[in-house]
Structures are given as structure tokens and as C-alpha cells.
Amino acid sequence: MKIYILWLRQIKRYLRSKSRILGSLAQPLLFLLAMGYGFGSVFQKAGQGNYVNFLAPGIIGMSIIFTSVFTGIEIIWDRQFGFLKEMMVAPMSRLNIMIGRTMGGATVATMQGVIVLLLSMLFGFHPYSFIGVLFTIPVMFLVALLFTALGTMIASLLDDMQGFQLIMNFLIMPLFFLSGALFPLEGLPKVMSIITKLDPLSYGVDAFRYLLINSSHYGIGLDITILSIITGFFLLLGGYFFKKIQI
């Protein structure tokens, strides 16, 4: 019940901020349209098929990573507006606060991912099968959970929003660009290939591709295993750092 109300709070906040929903849809759509159609013919000529189809799962991954890291980092706002104190003096464990918030944030990011998926279908994306689309949703949630926990961890270590830009440019952007969201993982230079293997988002995007366009680099089994392990690890770490927050 307590975890539920924390979750509900996140959902209400999300649904009320219409401008935020619209704002966070603009970027993925721009990527999908400009790159999808801009590089489409080059991609086709290289014998890789339809670039919009290839790109859409990557763009879903993009909207999820941005939204979920951001909802995690929102703890900083909660601290600034004092609401974190209200939660911290309530008779519930720090771990449950962190779980409730993370679930809420991950749900929000999943909703955002679903919206991007539906929109991309309007703009020419053809998923392989309906079942695949359905199974994508829990995988979206898993990826969202991973990055919300990461956001929580970062927020627990930061004192204020000053560091936010730094995190965006040196962590989130690289995680996105080096994930294979924009390019195929086959035939990469050695260093690049190693880097993409270290990026958790790679496995998320790869799993989306498996389920949505029936093409996968690592294989869905490996994707889900690695995502689950990292999510578990980040949740533990996030919980640990969250406990250490002093107000």
C-alpha cells in the first residue's frame, strides 16, 4: 500500500505535466524522422534493409533511457522542494521509498516508450508481429528499471542540479550513442565493439530489435539475462546510496 501510493504519486505527476510529455516526445521523433529518412537510402544501398525499421527500436531505447534517468534524478527536486523529508520521516524503510519511487519512474518511462512505439508506427515503422509488440512492453519496463535505478544512484550522490549537465553529456549521451541504437553492431572496429558490449543499453535495444523486427545480435536470452543482472545490481547500489542520503 505504501509502495503503491509512492508509485501512484509518480504516475499522477507524469500525467499532469502535459508539457513534459510532449517535450520528451519531440526529440525521439526528430531522430526517427531526420535520421530514419535521411540515412534511409544509404542504409538500403548498403544492403541493410529499411533504416526506419532498424532505427525505431533504438529510438524507443533512447526515449526510455532519457525518461528513466530523469525520473531517477528527480529525487534531487524532491529534496529541493522538501518532499523527500516528508517521506524520510514517515514510518517506512528507506529501501521501500526507493522501491516505490523506482517502480513509479520505470512505469513512467515505459509509458513513454509505448507512446514512442505507437508514434513510430504512424511514421512508417512496421513491427514484425503483434505478439512481439506485446512482449516488448515488459522488456521496456526492465530497461526502464535499470536506468531509473541508475538515475536514483546518481541523484543520491549529487547535491544539486549543477552536475546534471555533466551527467547528461558524459554518461547518458555516450550510453545512448554507443549502444547500437543508431547503427548495426555487426562489423564494428574492435574497440567500438568492446565498448558497445559494456553498454547496458545495447542489450536493451538488441532485445527490442529481436521482439519488434526479429533481428538480434546477441540473442534474446543473453539480452534478458544481462539486463536482469545489471538491473538487480543497480537496484542494490541505488538502494545503498539512497540510504546514505542526508537531508
Partner 1 sequence: MDANKIIDVKNLIKKFGDFIAVDDISFSVDKGEIFAFLGPNGAGKSTTIKILTTLLTSTSGDIRINGHNPELEPDLVRRMFGIVFQDTSLDDELTAWENMEFHGVLYDVPKKLRRERIQSLMQFVELWDRKNSLVKEFSGGMKRRLEIARGLLHHPKIIFLDEPTLGLDPQTRNHMWEYLKDLNKKEGTTIFFTTHYMEEADRIADKIAVIDHGKIIASGTSSDLKKETNTETLEDAFLSLTGNVIREESASSVDHMRTNRRMWKR
Distance CA 81, CA 85 (A): 9
Considering the complex, state which of residue 89 and residue 198 has its C-beta at the smaller distance from partner 1.
89
By beta-carbon proximity to partner 1, the closer residue of 9 and 197 is 9
User: Which residues bind to partner 1, rule: CB under 8 A?
Assistant: 1-2, 5, 9, 12-13, 16-17, 76, 79-93, 159-162, 246-247
C-alpha 54/C-alpha 32 separation (Å) is: 10
| CB of 88 or CB of 195, closer to partner 1 | 88
Q: How far is the CB of 7 from partner 1 (least distance, A)?
A: 11
Instruction: With beta carbons less than 8 A apart as the criterion, state whether 113 and 15 touch.
Output: no
- Closest C-alpha to 210, from 157, 131, 142: 131
Give whichever of 159 and 186 is closer to partner 1, judged by the CB atom: 159
Where does residue 46 rank: exposed (0-12), middle (13-18), buried (19+ CB within 10 A)? exposed
126: which 3 cell numbers? 512496421
CB 22 to partner 1: min, Å: 17
Report the nearest approach of partner 1 to the CB of residue 26 (Å): 20
Nearest approach, Cβ of residue 168 and partner 1 (Å): 16
